Amino acid sequence: MTTKNIREWHAGDGVEDNASDRKIKELPRRALRSAIMVMLVSLVIVLWAARASGADGGDKTLSPYFSVETRDANAAAFPLRSTDVAVNISGVIADVTVRQLYANLGGGAIDAVYIFPASTRCAVHGMTMRIGGRTIEAKVMERAEARKEFEKAKSEKKSAALLVQQRPNVFQMNIGRVLPGDEIEIELHYTEHLVPEKGIYEFVYPTVVGPRYSNQRESEVAASEKWIANPFLKKGTTAPTAFHISASVHGGMPLASVACDSHPVKIAYKDETSAEVQLDESETNGSNGGNRDFILRYAIAGNEVGSGLLLHQAAEGEGENFFLLTVQPPARVEKGDVSKREYVFVVDVSGSMSGFPLNTAKALMAGLLKEMRPTDRFNVLLFAGSSKVLSERPLEATAAHLKQANTLIDRQGGGGGTELLPALSRALSLPKTDGYSRSIVIVTDGYVQVEREAFDMLRKNLGEANAFAFGIGSSVNRFLIEGIARAGGGESFVVTRPAEAASMAQKLHDYISAPVLTDIEILYDGFDAYDVEPKGYPDVMAERPLVVWGKWQGNPAGKIEITGLRGDGSRYRHVHQVGAGDDRTNSALPYLWARNRIAALSDYIGVQRDAEDIREVTNLGLSYNLLTDYTSFIAVDTEARALENSDEPTVVKQPLPLPQGVSNAAVPEPQTALLALVAMFLLLCGRSRRAQR
């Protein structure tokens, strides 16, 4: 970063740099060089000392790092050998089985640690471990108790597997005491509800966790946050890990289309209502297919959406009854007069956005700015380690101002940390135009660790602006992107390719300018419903169904009435008659209801971590056999096996590939900081010589 750029960033923060420039010029040349050299040498010593401390297990920065390549990379360095995913989609529910095969090809015992992603909507309700012909069903325990059980098993010379949730979309698998020659298979089972938009259903299987930015040290954070310090492979490095995924789609009605834009696949239609999808062999080896989200979309003929009621009726006296109500909202009406709009675009230009993600973000921003009306007002805030704004006050959407914004964004190259919270705080504090409805639009890959702090900040400022989030890249942090939209009363979008930017920009414009349904009310007449989620109904901005979860008791009878206002102000009414025709055999509904309730509670467990909400989430996990932030799955082998020597197992963290399109700049290296200091020294020396002439 040049001195000019540094001054521009400070100027954007309201900090004047001119006085310090004058002082530099006034220093004698020799004194200036000596001072800079002392500073440079001191910082180099600090950097190398910190690096050495980290290597020795001392106080380290809580940051991802690059894996050190070894000659025997296939031995103990990559304990995960393969991941095989089988997806069975029936109607609106996906049942997923994930098989992970771990092996120790090295000469000593290891404890394997693997960080992997999941859908934010999945309900993990089962896990088994297979070793040496033995199959062990995992059990759900409170997180701390499960960890104790895991450590106890290792001390008793037993292999064990522990699954913990670090985020709703980030899991950690711990395999204890993997002896040389061992093969251990872990099988996970989860269920997910699919919600269509404009008649298109989408199933997403995330394959890799992107590197998370953190400005904290390991000694300052809880143990549950230390997963962030995970090794990554440099861009272009191939890992000896296989990935495969297959899917069976049963629409229940004739399928109009089945497609996968994220990966090359083979699609075979079995009949008019079902299809089989297989990942192409070119993507199965060396994690080729495991470096980006697998996205499968399908549509029902005529874009019909299955509005109706799904029931789960427990055997008499053996449990609770559950329901899932899906109601297709009215079609979007033509846009009429809408309120004046003001937008604050908060754009991530950090190191992880460098290259493909930032190019995609630039294409998106060009589309968003193009969609603005002359009566709109806007501002642009760019952030990385610090932030700067296009203007201290909102600008009218004139051709000149829009050109100025595009020019500023186009100049960005990506670099530095990802300080999201200061950027959000600054965006929320910017002056607002009276009489305008403000929307904050956040454009980022989401590679940060402060998700709940961001939700908390947006909830506290919900009266100031709605928040819309665009996730940019092949493996975005969907927990952050979706949570921002929930907390900010807006919508979330994911843009995986520059070609999608224009359509996504148009979609945001349509959402904001013409809501589909407002003032929603749901009444139950003769149908005894309780524990209904969500508790309140926000405006429906998208053309996707209204989804209601709940429990019921008594007989499945009566009616459910949904009312609201259409975009043109006319009254909307939908009545569903509960009766014998409703399917009562949906065994996934208890898991999905509990997962939906957990998600609602978890978003509102802020930085203070409300004790009552934590207890409820814990009890839900234990009662419904679910993985949560506070409950874990633990499986312990039935046989104790002694090591041939007394050495303790070596902890091996499975290196992860960088998500497709993410550059090496996403992972900080000590050498990077050192080179930056050298460049600064040379630049200032040259500037000093010019000043003396």
Domain coordinates in residue numbering, the chain: 3-58+671-692, 65-303+623-653, 341-513
State pLDDT tens for residues 255-293.
999 999 999 999 999 999 999 999 998 887 655 789 999
Helices (H), 478-520: 478-488, 501-513
Neighbours of 573 (CB within 10 A): 8
3-state secondary structure at position 344: strand
Amino acid at 295: I
**Helix or strand run (H / E) with residue 176:** strand 170-178
Number of C-beta neighbours around residue 180 at 10 A: 16
- Return the axis-axis angle of helices 29-55 and 670-692, rounded to nearest 10°: 180
Strand, helix or coil at 128?
A: strand
Q: What is the DSSP string of 413-477?
A: ---S---HHHHHHHHHHS---TT-EEEEEEEE---BS-HHHHHHHHHHTTTT-EEEEEEESSS--
* Collapsed DSSP state (helix, strand, coil) of residue 252: coil
Please give the Cα distance from 599 to 483 (Å, whole number): 10
Residue 594 neighbours by CB distance under 10 Å: 23
CA–CA dist 99, 77 (Å, integer)? 20
From CA 194, how far away is CA 247, in angstroms rounded? 14
Amino acid (one-letter) located at 246: S
* DSSP string over 368-389: HHHT--TT-EEEEEEESSSEEE
Q: What does the alpha-carbon distance between residue 492 and residue 503 come to, in Å, rounded to a whole number?
A: 14
Strand partners, 275: 249, 269
Tell me how far apart the alpha carbons of residues 660 and 686 are, in angstroms, rounded to a whole number: 39
- Cβ-based neighbours of 683, under 8 Å, separated by 6 or more: 2, 3
Residue in the block written with tokens 């600008």? 395
Strand partners, 441: 345, 468
User: Residue 121 is encoded by which pair of tokens?
Assistant: 């909507």
**Complete DSSP assignment for 581-650:** TS--B-TTHHHHHHHHHHHHHHHT--TT--HHHHHHHHHHHHHHT---SSEEEEEEEEEE---SS-PPPE
Q: Is 505 helix (H, G, I), strand (E, B) or coil?
A: helix
What CATH number does the domain located at 341-513 have?
3.40.50.410
Cα–Cα distance, 47 to 406 (Å, whole number): 38
**Does an H or E element contain 31, and which?**
helix 29-55
Equal CATH topology for 65-303+623-653 and 341-513: no
Rounded Cα distance, 665 and 658, in Å: 11
**Measured distance CA(562)–CA(575) in Å, rounded:** 6
d(CA 525, CA 514): 31
Low-confidence ranges of the chain (pLDDT < 50): 1-27, 44-57, 71-74, 671-677, 687, 690-691, 693
Q: Smallest Cα–Cα separation from 488: which of 613, 337, 344?
A: 344
By CB atoms closer than 10 A (0-12, 13-18, 19+), residue 134 is: exposed
Q: Are 362 and 405 in contact (CB under 8 A)?
A: no
3-state secondary structure of 561: strand
Backbone phi and psi for residue 31, each to the nearest 5 degrees, phi listed first: -65, -40
**559 residue type, one letter:** K
**Token code pair at residue 648:** 């303790």
* pLDDT reported for residue 28: 55
- For the segment(s) 65-303+623-653, the CATH number from 2.60.40, 3.40.1000, 3.40.50, 3.30.470 is 2.60.40
Cβ distance 533 to 600 under 8 Å?
Answer: yes
**Radius of gyration in angstroms for the set of CA atoms belonging to the chain, rounded to a whole number:** 27
- pLDDT given at position 539: 74
**117: cis peptide before it, omega within 30°?**
no
How far apart, in whole angstroms, are the C-alpha atoms of residue 348 and residue 372? Answer: 21
Whole-number pLDDT of residue 625? 97
Q: 416: phi > 0 → left, psi -120 to 50 → alpha, else beta; which?
A: left
How many Å apart are CA 9 and CA 401, to the nearest integer? Answer: 20
Residue 70: its pLDDT value, please? 54
What sign does the dihedral 681-679-688-20 (CA atoms) show? negative
Strand partners, 381: 346, 389
Token output for 233: 């492979």
Report whether 661 contacts 355 (CB < 8 A). Answer: yes
Is residue 77 a contact partner of residue 67, using CB atoms and an 8 Å limit?
Answer: yes
Other Cβ atoms within 10 Å of 648 Cβ, number: 12
The angle at the Cα of 627, spanning 625 to 632, to the nearest 5 degrees, equals: 95
CB-based contact 203:89 (threshold 8 Å):
yes
Long-range interactions of 40-43: CB distance < 8 A, separation 24+:
40/677, 40/678, 40/681, 43/677
Q: Give per-residue pLDDT as tens, 529-566.
A: 999 988 777 777 777 788 899 999 998 999 999 998 88
Length of the chain in residues, anyone? 693
Burial class of residue 638 in the structure, from the number of CB atoms within 10 Å of its CB (0-12 exposed, 13-18 middle, 19+ buried):
exposed
DSSP letter assigned to residue 122: -
**DSSP category for residue 656:** B
